[in-house]
Amino acid sequence: MSSSKRKLKICHVITRMIVGGAQENTLFTIAGHIQEGHEVILVTGPSPGPEGELLKKTDFPKFEIIEIPDLVREISAVKDFKAYRQLKNLFKERGFDVVHTHSSKAGVLGRAAAWDCKVPLVVHTVHGQAFHPYESSWKNLMYISAERWAAKRCHKIYAVAQAMIDQCVECKVAPREKYQVVYSGMDIDKFLNSQPEAELRVRLGIPEGVKVVGAVARLFPLKGYEYFLPAAKAIAEKHQDVHFLIVGNGSMFEQMQQEIAAMGLTERFHFAGLVPPHEVYRYIALMDLLMHLSLREGLPRSVVQALGSGKPAIGFRLDGTPEVILDGSTGYCAEPQNVESVVKFALKILENPELAAKMGKNGKKLVAEKFDWHKMAGILEEEYLKMLSVLGK
């Protein structure tokens, strides 16, 4: 860090540190701050569950972590108030220059506490929306109202995709000028330089010479497996030399296995289970095509990782997906829930190696230009310093 650059005390607040995109994004941001000599702490709630605890699966620089047991994802008036008070006490005690919140619950409570403590700069990142078309109308109304309230208690809101900003503005969460896109950074070198490993392929039981269609997502509702499986069935009927690799685990595992068995495809599906984030590149390297059919995304990290690995991707035309799956260039966007369209695009890629190679090359170029975590961390640091200067703090 330049001797003339101001050293900041920064606090990041996030609801859970499960294995997920928002959490990995936050860790890379923290790593960037530490490299630049800033003092950083992370505040999080408990992180149990089938997704796995990210902090136990990563090798990042050491920094202070404070767990607030009452900071939970579920709505609880008692716990939420306790968490707010604990956050407020922490902010008063530590005197941070910047409080940066992530995720919905931590975003509301963290911004409120920081604003009440007159923290010089309060910012928030939208990684995905709590409100969405697959949620009940009364919950959506509650979430939008909470986001509007919290938006008045911060200086700036970042989003990992332009689509997130458009949705927030449409719902009148905050005016457009309060938002800025900062694409989610990751360790792209591992993906850009990845090569398939024969030993891993053997361990997963994937035969030599077959093509692999994959997914990297938790096995939960809205992650798209209700569309992946019928698409896989149609692809498998057309091509006996295609296998399917699932990277992730979750509550739908047994149900999916039963459905796959009913389709007669057990021998052609391979489950990797929960893979540490720093190992994901090894599994994507085995794929020829990623089918990411989630119905709810901020900006799909696994798509960026696949593109960085030179793999074409297919996803639904929603949220931030079209910002990375450039239709006809890095893959194809199908209309949401349209399995027939997904199958058509998948067959087109699998049957045309030249097209797949061209898309892979385009994907690598896009990822190299936009998604390096050093770039993301640098943009945020520059933003903090600029905003503090503008605010005269």
pLDDT digits (tens, 9 = 90+) for 277-317: 889 999 999 999 999 999 988 899 999 999 999 999 999 99
Q: Cα(83)–Cα(108) distance, rounded to whole angstroms?
A: 11
Q: List Cα–Cα distances, 227 to 50, 224, 234, 347, in angstroms.
A: 22, 6, 11, 15
Return the structure tokens found at 87: 């956050």
Specify whether the CB–CB gap between 389 and 197 falls below 8 A. Answer: no
Return the structure tokens found at 147: 């986001």
Q: Which long-range contacts (CB under 8 A, 24 or more apart) does 64-68 make?
A: 64/40, 65/41, 66/41, 66/42, 66/90, 67/43, 68/43, 68/44
What is the pLDDT at residue 48?
A: 64
pLDDT-flagged residues of the chain (< 70): 1-4, 48-60
SS3 269: strand
Q: Hey, do 9-185+372-391 and 188-370 end up sharing a CATH topology, with the first three levels equal?
A: yes
H helices of the chain, in order, are 21-35, 77-94, 104-116, 137-151, 162-170, 188-192, 198-204, 225-238, 253-262, 280-284, 301-308, 339-350, 353-370, 373-391
Q: What angle do CA 363, 369, 373 make, to 5 degrees?
A: 105
Burial of 215-231, coded b for 16+ CB within 10 Å and e otherwise, reads bbbbbbeebbbbbbbbb
* Residue in 212, 177, 378, 388 with CA at minimum distance from that of residue 291: 212
Can you give the pTM of this predicted structure? Answer: 0.90
Return the structure tokens found at 2: 């330049």
What is the pLDDT at residue 128?
A: 86
Q: 188-370 — its CATH code?
A: 3.40.50.2000
Does 9-185+372-391 carry CATH code 3.30.70.60?
Answer: no
User: Which residues fall within 8 angstroms of residue 117, CB to CB, at 6 or more apart?
Assistant: 88, 91, 92
Q: Cα(74)–Cα(80) distance, rounded to whole angstroms?
A: 9
Per the DSSP assignment, residues forming a β-bridge with 291 are 314
Specify whether the CB–CB gap between 34 and 63 falls below 8 A. Answer: yes
* Residue in 122, 102, 96, 121 with CA at minimum distance from that of residue 111: 122
For the chain, what are the domain ranges? 9-185+372-391, 188-370
Specify whether the CB–CB gap between 308 and 188 falls below 8 A. Answer: yes
